[in-house]
Amino acid sequence: MTAAEPTHRPTAPTSSGSTASPSPSPTSSTPPRARRARRTRADRAAIARSRLEAVLTHLLVILGVLLSVFAFYWLAVMSTSTSAEIFGYPPKLTFGSHFAENLRHLTSSIDIVSALVNTIVVAGACAVLVMFFDSLAAFAFAKFDFPGKNVLFVVMIATFLIPGSLSLVPSFILMSEIGWVGTLQALIVPGAANAFGIFLLRQMAASAIPNELIESARIDGAGFFSTYWRIGVPMLRGGLAFLGIFTFITAWNDYVWPLIVLVDPGRQTLQTALQNLNSLYLTDYGMVMTGALVSVLPLIGVFIIGSRHFIANIAAGALKG
């Protein structure tokens, strides 16, 4: 393989069923004219088959949906219940009447508005920075060659494999030495670019961005950054949306590090505030579940907005254009 690129495969997005199939189906090997002659009967069969397929598909999907939604529904039920009802036997699966009370306890126990604002700032900043830095790096790794690339890429993947849980103490010391303890940037800056996202987007770019586009941009005299902006970003939209959403979620739900580093009770994130509701003694689970529900709802909103980008299929259009 040229340029000794273990990390850099030609992505060979293969052909359609007919050409790559080692044992081609009868239809695909039949000349077009013969095919047309058989169409009416085959069509009827095909329509019936596709109906059946559609029904089966829906049934399968709905089964999966029910399994997925079940626990969330239960969470919602628990947020309307008392601690006793939550752990009662048999489990109660219908909505209770304590939501207002739980919510009142929640809002009187923690400053939910300020926690919410801090969390939005942290998660939003993380998502934007990660999307930007990771896609830049991924674009460079996927579509360009430069000295030392392979080594750098392997080093990056290796950092992804390093277990992180033991770094609390040294990270805390580092933050306290640079005076960032208690600040939100201690939660934002260290994670502003990560191996996970670079790796993901590099893999996406490999199959999504045809080299012809990069080549024609070069011929047009576009530099790296303008190629990135004009071709890389639009073609990676789906991957970026995913990365943005899940960086947002990860930052939103993170609690161990924020709990250590946010020493000021007036500056907390939602998760650290909610964690502080847990007691070594008795925990009011109704209130905790209400908190959990409140913290999840914005994420669903973010997902609905961001996931629109999973649908749009712009790659084909860009190629043809």
26-65 residues near another protein, rule: CB under 8 A: 27-28, 35, 42, 46, 53-54, 57-58, 60-61, 64-65
By CB under 8 A, what part of segment 110-169 binds another protein? 133-134, 136-137, 139-149, 152, 156-163, 165-169
> How many of the other CB atoms lie within 10 Å of CB of 77?
20
Minimum CB distance to another protein smaller for 112 or for 236: 236
What does residue 79 show for φ and ψ, rounded to 5 degrees? -70, -10
Structure-token pair, residue 42: 């085959």
Q: How far is the CB of 136 from another protein (least distance, A)?
A: 4
Among the listed ranges 95-103, 111-119, 120-128, 184-192, the one in contact with another protein (CB under 8 A) is: 184-192
Identify whether the C-beta of residue 45 lies closer than 8 Å to the C-beta of residue 65: no
Minimum CB distance to another protein smaller for 99 or for 285: 285
Q: How far is the CB of 114 from another protein (least distance, A)?
A: 15
Position among 1, 40, 41, 113 found at the interface with another protein (CB under 8 A): 1
Among the listed ranges 98-106, 117-125, 277-285, the one in contact with another protein (CB under 8 A) is: 277-285
Q: Does 68 bind another protein (CB under 8 A)?
A: yes
Kindly give, in sequence order, each residue whose CB lies less than 8 Å from that of residue 253, ignoring residues fewer than 6 positions away. Answer: 271, 295
Q: How far is the CB of 287 from another protein (least distance, A)?
A: 10
Among the listed ranges 98-106, 119-127, 313-321, the one in contact with another protein (CB under 8 A) is: 313-321
Q: Does 216 bind another protein (CB under 8 A)?
A: no
Kindly give, in sequence order, each residue whose CB lies less than 8 Å from that of residue 196, ignoring residues fewer than 6 positions away. Answer: 160
Q: What is the DSSP string of 166-234?
A: GGHHHHHHHHHHTT-TTSTHHHHGGGSS-HHHHHHHHHHHHHHS-HHHHHHHHHTT--HHHHIIIIIHH
Q: How far is the CB of 304 from another protein (least distance, A)?
A: 6
Specify the amino acid at residue 203. Q
Q: How far is the CB of 253 from another protein (least distance, A)?
A: 8
Q: Does 275 bind another protein (CB under 8 A)?
A: yes
Whole-angstrom Cα distance, residue 101 to residue 107?
Answer: 10
By CB under 8 A, what part of segment 217-246 binds another protein? 218, 223-225, 228, 235-239, 241-242, 246
DSSP tag of 311: T
Among the listed ranges 99-107, 116-124, 307-315, the one in contact with another protein (CB under 8 A) is: 307-315
Rounded to the nearest 5 degrees, what angle is found at the Cα of 319, between the Cα atoms of 20 and 10? 50
Burial profile 110-137: b = 16 or more Cβ within 10 angstroms, e = fewer: bbbeebbebbbebbbbbbebbbeebbbb
Minimum CB distance to another protein smaller for 64 or for 97: 64
